[in-house]
Amino acid sequence: MPIAQPPHSAGRPFPGLRSRIDPSQIPSPVSSWQTDQATWDQSAFMTCASSQTIPISSSEYVAVDQGNSAPRFIRLSTYAMPFSHDLASGCHLPVAAMIQPFAQQPDGESPVPVVDFGESGPPRCGSCRGYINPWCTWTSAGQKWICNLCQETTEESLVPLEYFSTLEASGQRVDHASRPELNHGTIDFIVPKEYWAQPPPPRLLSSNKDPIDSPSKATFLPNLQQPPPPSRKPVPLHVLFGIDVSAESITSGLTRSICAVLRQSIFSGDPDSSSKNIGIIAYDAKAVYFFDLSVRTFTYAMQLQVEIDRSICIIQSTLSQPKMLVVSDIDSVFVPLRTGLFVDPYLSRNLIEGLLDMIPTYFLSSVSGGAALGAAVEAGLSALSHMGGEILLFQRSHPSDLPERSKSEQELANTDKERTLFSPESLKWSEIAEECAEAGIAVNTWLFPGHFADVATIGK
């Protein structure tokens, strides 16, 4: 009879090479955030107080601007700066800043002041081009100022006559308290015309991407006959939403979900602070669908020609059913309407909400396979080329105007040529991207593919 082996539990357990880690000694990001949040729930963050710690990025707090920007506008990677050049060279401590202009402020925090210096613009240092700020010092009885960034005083540091003020005994200007740029670390300047966006360079030959009100295309080099204006006047941000209405997108429920999310997000802000104009298009493999969202106006004389109750019905019907224009030539997309594509969302709220409710049901019988994503981008480029803006596209099916790869993903997977999947198949999209960049148009694409999507080509 064989002798049984002793159990492994016999004797003292082997202690191992490392001591056991006490979980209570492991730093917890949750407890750190809770402790930090409790601190700022009881007090405000003073931007020039050296005794306070900096709120972590996830904490909610109210900041009091004392001359330094709040962390919500500019946050450094470290606030422990090396004291000397030798110490900085020895510790190799990287210093970076995350800057977020126009950051959303909480209730109870003073809004960022807006300052208008007119066509001359704000005073700037002639050496480093730094702007006037609370930490600049004044000299020559207030006629010059010394830059706090480079400590230089140049001829451009002479104070303009309209900005001159005498100095107090402390060296501050007499009007110091009434000048936001001398008291706040974050201010917004009204920029003069020299800072306005430049128009995109004219094309040598007209194309379908030219604005609808461009010169006649019957002659050679028509765009050179009328030079573009030197700058583009600032306008509210124009945002164009593009929704995939192909059969795959409809049956998957994506189209309905996107419409519901857009309806919620468009009207989630404060109507008084809204400064956007929005437009909505839909697209599949066969066409691009444009919608006229402008509110119709009716004169009193027209209302007298019909009964009052019928007049009300006509107005309500018009406000809930926008006009749809279809461009079926996806190879030469153009914008078929001059006005009504972009509207104030709150002035046309009934139209927009009715449209978002209508799109999922109107295209319910769609049998279109794929969606012309490139045509949707070109439509947005044509609509926004003269003013700039943003295009937001929501795509489910495979782009029908995207060239098919010579080999599929399955054939290239786990081979030495798999890297080609991450390279663009066509340069057409690169050309469209360059035109959008020249026109000041941002393109954001949300892809919800049910199979392989050639993101390398789309995102190029």
pLDDT band at residue 213 using 50, 70 and 90 as cut-offs: very low
In a domain, 32, yes or no: no
pLDDT tens digits, one per residue of 276-310: 899 999 999 889 999 999 886 443 334 434 344 43
In a domain, 13, yes or no: no
In this prediction, residue 255 carries a pLDDT of: 93
Q: Are residues 187 and 227 in the same domain?
A: no
Q: Which of 193, 214, 243 is the last residue of a domain?
A: 193
- Residue 108: closest CA among 73, 61, 155, 140: 61
Q: Are residues 261 and 370 in the same domain?
A: yes
Q: Are residues 301 and 450 in the same domain?
A: yes
In this prediction, residue 415 carries a pLDDT of: 65
Region 33-55 average pLDDT: 91
Q: How does the average pLDDT of the chain come out, rounded?
A: 80
In a domain, 72, yes or no: no
d(CA 187, CA 116): 11
In a domain, 417, yes or no: yes
Q: Are residues 309 and 443 in the same domain?
A: yes
Q: Is the pLDDT of residue 56 over 50?
A: yes
Q: Are residues 161 and 264 in the same domain?
A: no
Q: What is the CATH number for 356?
A: 3.40.50.410
In this prediction, residue 423 carries a pLDDT of: 62
Q: Is the pLDDT of residue 319 over 70?
A: no
In a domain, 445, yes or no: yes
Q: What is the DSSP string of 195-236?
A: GSPPPPPPPSS--TTS-TTPPPSSSSSGGGTSPPPSS-----
Element containing residue 292 per DSSP (H, E): strand 288-292
Pick the residue with more confidence: 46 or 200?
A: 46
pLDDT tens digits, one per residue of 235-259: 889 999 999 999 889 999 999 999 9
Pick the residue with more confidence: 140 or 315?
A: 140
Tokens of 272: 């008084």
Of the spans 27-31, 107-111, 414-418, which averages the highest pLDDT?
107-111
Q: How many degrees, rounded to 5, is the angle at CA 103 between CA 345 and CA 46?
A: 145
Instruction: Work out whether the CA dihedral 322, 323, 329, 331 comes out positive or negative.
Output: negative
End-to-end CA distance of the chain: 75
Cite the beta strand spans of 100-200 per DSSP E: 114-115, 137-139, 144-146, 188-189
Pick the residue with more confidence: 453 or 23?
A: 23
Element containing residue 244 per DSSP (H, E): strand 237-244
In this prediction, residue 224 carries a pLDDT of: 43
Q: How many degrees, rounded to 5, is the angle at CA 396 between CA 391 and CA 397?
A: 115
Q: Are residues 167 and 249 in the same domain?
A: no
Q: Is the pLDDT of residue 272 over 50?
A: yes
Q: Are residues 253 and 387 in the same domain?
A: yes
In a domain, 133, yes or no: yes
pLDDT band at residue 314 using 50, 70 and 90 as cut-offs: very low
Count structural domains, the chain: 2
Q: Are residues 184 and 227 in the same domain?
A: no
pLDDT tens digits, one per residue of 366-387: 777 788 888 999 999 999 988 8
Q: Which domain holds residue 343?
A: 222-458
Region 121-131 average pLDDT: 89
In this prediction, residue 103 carries a pLDDT of: 93
Q: Is the pLDDT of residue 426 over 90?
A: no
pLDDT band at residue 27 using 50, 70 and 90 as cut-offs: confident
- Residue 374: closest CA among 241, 284, 248, 239: 284
Q: Are residues 134 and 275 in the same domain?
A: no
pLDDT band at residue 38 using 50, 70 and 90 as cut-offs: very high
In this prediction, residue 158 carries a pLDDT of: 86
Q: Are 232 and 198 in contact (CB under 8 A)?
A: yes
pLDDT band at residue 418 using 50, 70 and 90 as cut-offs: low
pLDDT band at residue 197 using 50, 70 and 90 as cut-offs: confident
In this prediction, residue 460 carries a pLDDT of: 55
Q: Are residues 150 and 278 in the same domain?
A: no
d(CA 448, CA 394): 8
Q: Are residues 138 and 254 in the same domain?
A: no
Q: CA–CA distance from 243 to each of 94, 151, 356, 359 (Å)?
A: 43, 54, 10, 9
Q: Are residues 172 and 227 in the same domain?
A: no
In a domain, 85, yes or no: no
In this prediction, residue 32 carries a pLDDT of: 85
Task: Give helix then strand counts, H and E, for the chain.
Answer: 11, 14
Q: Are 100 and 73 in contact (CB under 8 A)?
A: yes
In this prediction, residue 407 carries a pLDDT of: 47
In a domain, 168, yes or no: yes
Q: Is the pLDDT of residue 411 over 50?
A: yes
In this prediction, residue 316 carries a pLDDT of: 39
Q: What is the CATH number for 172?
A: 2.30.30.380
- Residue 454: closest CA among 428, 415, 424, 434: 424
449-453: long-range contacts at Cβ-Cβ below 8 A with a sequence spacing of 24 or more?
A: 449/395, 449/396, 449/397, 449/398, 450/248, 450/252, 450/396, 450/397, 451/398, 452/408, 452/409, 453/398
pLDDT tens digits, one per residue of 134-157: 999 998 888 999 999 998 887 767
Of the spans 44-48, 218-222, 329-333, 368-372, which averages the highest pLDDT?
44-48
